[in-house]
Structure 1
Amino acid sequence: CNFWDAKYKEELNLGSSFSFIADASHPDARYLFEENQVVFRDKDGFLRAFVIKELDDTDDGAEINTLVTCEAAMMELA
């Protein structure tokens, strides 16, 4: 699934967040749903796991995109 504008933020004592925009018309976009997980490699090569918490579809007339907002999977343990 094509995605862009990926923003990973980690703050001391506040945890981390991850968001990105994905092409909602791509066949793999069906895997973007709340409580599903996203894993990526950070700039240091470590795998980071996040849980999808919010989806927001946008339609600008030419294409349909989804803003995906996630929280760290380890927060599920808190």
Structure 2
Amino acid sequence: MALDEDIPTVNIRLWRADAIVLFDWLMSTDVNTVPITHPAQKQALADLCSRFEWAADDDVISCTQEEIAAAQEAVAKDMGW
């Protein structure tokens, strides 16, 4: 998805571990199997994945399996549910 300067955007700061977990999940998930209530939701997930690939620091998109596991553990550590 190309970003047009006329299209409103939102900047989101993520904890690095959250970014790693989300990117890993997006790359390993078949978006056709994710429950949606509107086709735009599937497109938004695909857009998010491509934004990670385009804008994310190589530190996030080139993580090792060990780094992904550590990020998953860190994110899940104090979930409370």
**TM-score, normalised relative to structure 1:** 0.23
**TM-score, normalised relative to structure 2:** 0.23
Which structure: greater helix fraction?
A: 2
Q: Which has the larger radius of gyration?
A: 2
Which structure: greater strand fraction?
A: 1
